[in-house]
């Protein structure tokens, strides 16, 4: 059905809603794509964002994967406002306490380090959400 047929239907609002990330899969994909495209994830082989999503859900303990996983946990909780247990299931069956640690660690890093603040603000713009972290520096 054409949006021009329905009176009162605003196509601008529809386009804005389509750009918003409102599913965990979309958030994981965009966070993975951001970390991959900005050179944060260097594993030695060419990866695609879908493969990075699988790494985020996996058991990898490499620093760059953990940072991306922490960011994904923070943004999933911030945007979707779902339970910590549900976020743990999304991120590969992790416990709710692991998600609490991930969120706290991400917030602390962003609050104190300028480089992390810049990355956080870029992710906020990419995911079309507001910054809710108070920067200490």
Is residue 43 pLDDT above 70, yes or no?
no
Integer angstrom CA distances of residue 126 from 8, 86, 131 = 29, 23, 12
Average pLDDT, whole number, for the chain? 84
Count of the separate structural domains present in the chain: 1
The string of pLDDT tens digits covering residues 45-60 is 677 878 888 989 999 9
Question: Can you tell me the mean pLDDT for 120-132?
Answer: 90
Is residue 4 pLDDT above 60, yes or no?
no
42 within domain boundaries: yes
Is residue 20 pLDDT above 70, yes or no?
no
| Distance in angstroms (rounded) separating the CA atoms of residues 136 and 62 | 27
11 within domain boundaries: no
Is residue 17 pLDDT above 60, yes or no?
no
Confirm if 103 and 73 have CB atoms less than 8 A apart.
yes
6 within domain boundaries: no
**CA 5 from centre of chain:** 36
| Distance in angstroms (rounded) separating the CA atoms of residues 88 and 90 | 5
7 within domain boundaries: no
Question: Can you tell me the mean pLDDT for 74-85?
Answer: 93
91 within domain boundaries: yes
Please give the residue range of the domain that contains residue 76. Answer: 21-127
31 within domain boundaries: yes
8 within domain boundaries: no
15 within domain boundaries: no
> CATH code at 110?
1.10.1750.10
Nearest to 30 by CA among 50, 55, 15, 59: 50
């Amino acid at each position: 059905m054409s949006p021009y047929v329905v009176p009162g239907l605003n196509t601008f609002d529809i386009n804005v809603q389509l750009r918003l990330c409102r599913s965990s899969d979309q958030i994981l994909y965009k966070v993975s794509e951001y970390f991959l495209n900005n050179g944060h994830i260097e594993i030695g082989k060419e990866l695609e964002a879908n493969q990075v999503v699988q790494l985020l859900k996996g058991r990898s303990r490499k620093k760059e994967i953990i940072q991306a996983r922490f960011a994904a946990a923070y943004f999933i909780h911030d945007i979707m406002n779902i339970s910590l247990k549900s976020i743990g299931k999304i991120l590969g069956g992790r416990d709710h306490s692991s998600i609490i640690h991930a969120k706290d660690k991400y917030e602390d890093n962003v609050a104190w380090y300028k480089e992390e603040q810049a990355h956080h603000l870029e992710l906020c713009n990419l995911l079309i959400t507001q910054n809710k972290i108070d920067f200490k520096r």
